[in-house]
């Protein structure tokens, strides 16, 4: 048990801290689209410094960083008030998946442009009829010679409005057991037959999209990891998604907590014992999440693999985030409910936290099943 940074970690931290000081991207634009491109430019800048994908092997432009070093990276970003770079579906999901399952040609073609932000990626897993149930994917890819012809629909594809490529899970065989008939593709988003439709959320914004496929043709060379092997490839993607989650969750929550705390202190609201007690409970929950993320990184490193414990962090995050957003809107004052207030936005946005990226119900199934080893329902 030793929570001090190693010499390497310290050296990196000092380097990166100095680098950020010289390259800080400043304040975010207020327009949603401009903000996205600003974060994409920030990815390019990080890439010039060699910081775009810390955890990638150096042969692909990364630093072969340990998960712990990656956590240091994110902590420094947060400390400097710098944004999380855009295109994380590329750097955290598409990249590692292609490294593990892709052909040499695919690696050469796709990996490097991700870090230069020349390729923006989105993820086409969820469907209206499937939701949390990947095995129920219905979007069908029919083989025709050297091509597959895709018809169907995806939902909840974030950043599809910017994306050049999509990680697409389809069904290619309806005659075998559900999760065996899946195939995983890289889809060029400029292919004819793709319709992108923004999905308006209860916040009024559209972070997500629906994608419709009408006879979209994909070359067979764009299959990742063999026809019929889509389930396993998709699991790789999801595991990488979960492995990046811990540090990111902790930072989001801590930053928000700090904003709430500053407001409460500035307005003397912590003099109210009930407010004080609830706030401090939320601080403890936030710290517990940060520490649990670090602990899981240590354990994953020792074990050499990422496990299902990311589900635990996600559950902690969504629970604490929802509580914090409710607490804030009840506590900060009567302006909180006004349309333009940041408090209102966080409060509304927090309602998605128990749904997006695996509903809390599904995650508790995973914890029960894979962590506790309880017998499965069906």
Partner 1 sequence: MRFMLSDEQSAIQDMAREVLAAESTFDRVRSAGEERQYDSELWALQRSMGWPGVGVPQRWGGQGLGLVELSVIAEECGYACSSTPLLGTILAATSLVSAASSEQCERYLPSLAAGEVRGAVALTADSTPVPDAGEAGLIVVLEGSGGRVSLQPAQPVETIDPTLRYGRVVDPSAGEPLNQSPIAYDSTLVVVSAHQLGLAQRALDLSVAYTSVREQFGVPVATFQAVSHRLAQAHVDLTAARSLVYHAAWAVQVGDSEASASAARAKAWLAEASRTVTGSAIHAHGGIGFTWEANLHWLFKRATMLGPYLGGARQHRSRLLDMLGTAQTTSHETDHS
Question: Which residues, other chains included, contact 197 with Cβ-Cβ below 8 Å and sequence gap of 6+?
Answer: 209, 210, 211, 212
Task: Please report whether residue 277 would count as binding a copy of itself according to CB under 8 A.
Answer: yes
Task: Please report whether residue 266 would count as binding a copy of itself according to CB under 8 A.
Answer: no
Q: Which of 9, 41, 173, 188 binds partner 1 (CB under 8 A)?
A: 9
Task: Please report whether residue 32 would count as binding partner 1 according to CB under 8 A.
Answer: no
CB 70 within 8 A of CB 54: yes
Residue 1 touches which member of a copy of itself, partner 1, none, C-beta under 5-8 Å by kind? partner 1
Question: Catalytic one among 45, 127, 210, 241?
Answer: 241
Eight-class DSSP state of 83:
P
d(CA 251, CA 106): 33
326 annotated active-site:
no
Question: Which residues, other chains included, contact 91 with Cβ-Cβ below 8 Å and sequence gap of 6+?
Answer: 43, 52, 53, 56, 85, 114, 115
Residue 194 touches which member of a copy of itself, partner 1, none, C-beta under 5-8 Å by kind? none
Task: Please report whether residue 272 would count as binding a copy of itself according to CB under 8 A.
Answer: yes
Contact segment (CB under 8 A) with partner 1 among 18-26, 48-56, 69-77, 185-193 equals 69-77
**Phi/psi at 321 (5° precision):** -60, -45
Task: Please report whether residue 302 would count as binding a copy of itself according to CB under 8 A.
Answer: no
Q: Which of 49, 59, 276, 342 binds partner 1 (CB under 8 A)?
A: 276
CA distances for 16 relative to 19, 60, 260, angstroms: 5, 20, 28
Nearer to a copy of itself, 263 or 278 (CB): 278
Structure tokens at 197: 């439709």
Q: At what angle do helices 310-331 and 273-303 cross, to 10 degrees?
A: 160
Q: Which of 238, 294, 324, 328 binds partner 1 (CB under 8 A)?
A: 294
Residue 168 touches which member of a copy of itself, partner 1, none, C-beta under 5-8 Å by kind? none
Catalytic positions, written as ranges: 241
- Residues in the site for a copy of itself, rule: CB under 8 A? 272-274, 277
């Amino acid at each position: 048990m030793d929570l001090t940074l190693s010499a390497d970690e310290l050296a990196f931290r000092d380097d990166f801290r100095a680098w950020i000081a010289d390259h800080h991207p400043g304040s975010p634009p207020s327009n949603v689209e401009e903000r996205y491109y600003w974060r994409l430019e920030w990815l390019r800048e990080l890439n010039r410094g060699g910081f775009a994908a810390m955890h990638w092997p150096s042969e692909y432009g990364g630093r072969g960083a340990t998960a712990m070093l990656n956590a240091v990276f994110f902590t420094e970003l947060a400390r400097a008030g710098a944004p999380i770079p855009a295109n994380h579906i590329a750097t955290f999901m598409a990249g590692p998946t292609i490294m593990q399952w892709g052909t040499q040609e695919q690696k050469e073609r796709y990996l490097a442009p991700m870090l230069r932000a020349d390729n923006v990626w989105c993820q086409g897993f969820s469907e209206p009829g499937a939701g949390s149930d990947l095995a129920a994917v219905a979007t069908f890819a029919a083989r025709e010679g050297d091509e597959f012809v895709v018809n169907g629909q995806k939902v909840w594809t974030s950043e599809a409005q910017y994306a050049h490529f999509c990680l697409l899970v389809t069904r290619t065989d309806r005659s075998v057991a559900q999760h065996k008939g899946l195939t995983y593709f890289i889809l060029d988003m400029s292919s004819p037959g793709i319709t992108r439709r923004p999905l308006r959320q209860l916040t009024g914004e559209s972070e997500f999209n629906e994608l419709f496929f009408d006879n979209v043709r994909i070359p067979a060379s764009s299959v990742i990891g063999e026809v019929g092997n889509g389930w396993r490839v998709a699991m790789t993607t999801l595991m990488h998604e979960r492995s990046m989650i811990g540090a990111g969750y902790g930072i989001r929550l801590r930053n928000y907590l700090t904003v709430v705390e500053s407001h409460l202190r500035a307005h003397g609201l912590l003099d109210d014992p009930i407010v004080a007690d609830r706030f401090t409970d939320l601080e403890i929950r936030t710290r517990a999440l940060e520490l649990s993320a670090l602990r899981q990184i240590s354990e994953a490193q020792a074990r050499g693999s990422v496990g299902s414990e990311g589900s635990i962090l996600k559950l902690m995050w969504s629970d604490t985030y929802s509580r914090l957003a409710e607490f804030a809107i009840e506590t900060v004052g009567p302006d909180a409910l006004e349309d333009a207030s940041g408090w209102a936005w966080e409060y509304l946005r927090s309602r998605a936290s128990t749904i997006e990226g695996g509903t809390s119900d599904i995650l508790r199934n995973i914890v029960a099943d894979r962590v506790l080893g309880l017998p499965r329902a069906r």
